[in-house]
Amino acid sequence: MNSSSNPVVTPVSRSHAEPSFAASKALQERFHAVIPGGSHTYAKGDDQFPEHMAPYIERGEGCRVWDVDGNEFIEYGMGLRSVTLGHAYAPVVLAAQAEMTRGVNFGRPATLELATAEEFLDLTQAGDMVKFTKNGSDATSAAVKLARAYTGRDLIAVCADHPFFSVDDWFIGTTAISAGIPQAVREQSLHFRYNDIASLEALFAAHPNKIAAAIMEVERDMPPLPGYLQAVRELCTQHGVVLIFDEIVAGFRSHISGGQGVHGVRPDLSAFGKALGNGFSIAALTGRRELMELGGLRQKDRDRVFLLSTTYGAESHSFAAARAVMQIYRQEPVIAHLNEQGERLRQGLLAAVRDHSLEENVPIFGQSCCLFYGSRDAQGQPSQAFRTLFLQETLRRGLLLPSFVISYSHTPAVVDTTVERVHEALGVYRRALDEGIDKYLVGRPVQSVYRARN
């Protein structure tokens, strides 16, 4: 599994030329010389892609991107699930462009802020008030702060089965990459398991009247068991714990109002982001008025919360982009398309997996609108080496897919092309299982973002 070996180079389809990554490789050192990690987002880092196949992107349109070598890829990362309509989606871009000509940042609130807030609350029905910010981490961390202020408690119950909630210490301190975070901060976040109501009950019993909030996604890669979400809601109410739903991925993807809209369970606070701006930087914290008002100017009975207050939190072009997105969702069947084409993709992938007898090695799971895949070795164990091989072979075939994230721009023809190319890549995966991965994998395996050492 290293670049000095002589792996078998399996031919790609005649319809797609073997890509070169020479220009991307030439840029790599420059990126790392000026940017820690070579990327502003760890999930986009070189260590998440095959060693000699980490493309730097020049532009995107719809569901396709082009890198500095001129390679064209059908993309299924879609800006870490933030680009739900498609890259450079014209109505959104034009709305943002028009607003920028009117000024982007002022010393007092713009009327656009009110219009966006009212439209968001009316469309999502997810809260009584909303405060916008630039990223999901700020929104979830603000929710945690509100919960602590409201309850007078310090501890936070964090769902251990959901991968990311914030860049802030209260969450990153729960991961393996916790350097620089005080131990006292780490100890304030506790874990419970998804679909295991007993684990949450045990936390509440072990720390009576000390837990301020429970934070979770409503649904990630597995659906909730019957009655589970309702039991979480009831348990939090019973113990005076603020329930926070992280809807940053699910909002405007599985449902306009996220998982709570799908399953009909209302939290106290919710965080939205990603698809709300179709890649533009905007996120939202919304929820019950009595909590949200703790960060306002009208409540007189409690200490004030310094909630969300950022210089760039009200940039006009991001609000214009969000309003355009919301208008598109009102007028067009975006979510129906995501589910229909996502299901078309799922069924095609499952058939390809079956064709190569890889059901135990390459599981396809998650909601149709937001699919994931696993990579397992011959013993059925999760394998970063086999994930790398799969990425290697799909990149060679013009697919950029850290996961299978569908967008409004992925057409049935694009989905069918994707399945054909994945089918070819899975043939290599099958041979690597049978003959040994060293024969096929070029370079080192990808690594987990959450690791203590490089």
Express each pLDDT in 100-146 by its tens digit.
999 999 999 999 999 999 999 999 999 999 999 999 999 999 999 99
Mean pLDDT across the chain, nearest whole number?
95
- Among 314, 347, 377, where does a domain finish? 314
Tell me: do 78 and 117 sit in the same domain.
no
Residue 195 inside a domain? The answer is: yes
Reply yes or no on whether the pLDDT at 72 is more than 80: yes
pLDDT tens digits for range 133-183: 999 999 999 999 999 999 999 999 999 999 999 999 999 999 999 999 999
- Among 314, 341, 357, where does a domain finish? 314
Tell me: do 337 and 270 sit in the same domain.
no
Tell me: do 262 and 408 sit in the same domain.
no
Residue 351 inside a domain? The answer is: yes
Instruction: State mean pLDDT over 201-212.
Output: 98
In the β-sheet with 399-400, what is the strand arrangement from edge to edge? 57-61, 64-67, 72-75, 399-400
Residue 449 inside a domain? The answer is: no
Tell me: do 153 and 181 sit in the same domain.
yes
Domain range spanning residue 415?
Answer: 22-87+333-439
Tell me: do 196 and 289 sit in the same domain.
yes
> What is the CATH classification number for the domain harbouring 220?
3.40.640.10
Q: How many residues can be counted in the chain?
A: 454
For residue 16, what pLDDT is reported?
64
Tell me: do 254 and 209 sit in the same domain.
yes
Reply yes or no on whether the pLDDT at 1 is more than 50: no
Q: What distance in Å separates the CA atoms of residue 257 and residue 120, rounded to the nearest whole number?
A: 10
> What is the CATH classification number for the domain harbouring 54?
3.90.1150.10
Residue 17 pLDDT class (50, 70, 90 cuts)? confident
Helical pair 412-435 and 334-355, crossing angle rounded to 10 deg: 30
Integer-rounded Cα radius of gyration of the chain: 23
Q: What distance in Å separates the CA atoms of residue 251 and residue 428, rounded to the nearest whole number?
A: 36
Tell me: do 55 and 176 sit in the same domain.
no
Which letter does DSSP use for residue 228 in this model?
A: H
Residue 99 inside a domain? The answer is: no
Tell me: do 57 and 126 sit in the same domain.
no
Tell me: do 154 and 39 sit in the same domain.
no
Tell me: do 167 and 292 sit in the same domain.
yes
Cβ atoms 218, 229 nearer than 8 A:
yes
Instruction: State mean pLDDT over 361-384.
Output: 97
For residue 219, what pLDDT is reported?
97
Residue whose structure tokens are 């394998």? 383
Which letter does DSSP use for residue 443 in this model?
A: S
Specify the pTM. Answer: 0.94
Angle at Cα 171 formed by Cα 150 and Cα 188, nearest 5°?
Answer: 55
Residue 431 inside a domain? The answer is: yes
Residue 308 inside a domain? The answer is: yes
Q: How many structural domains comprise the chain?
A: 2
Residue 372 inside a domain? The answer is: yes
Reply yes or no on whether the pLDDT at 98 is more than 80: yes
Neighbouring residues of 180: CB distance < 8 A, sequence distance ≥ 6:
none
For residue 13, what pLDDT is reported?
60
Tell me: do 113 and 175 sit in the same domain.
yes
Question: What percentage of the chain exceeds 70 in pLDDT?
Answer: 97
Residue 132 inside a domain? The answer is: yes
Tell me: do 120 and 221 sit in the same domain.
yes
Helical pair 111-124 and 316-331, crossing angle rounded to 10 deg: 30
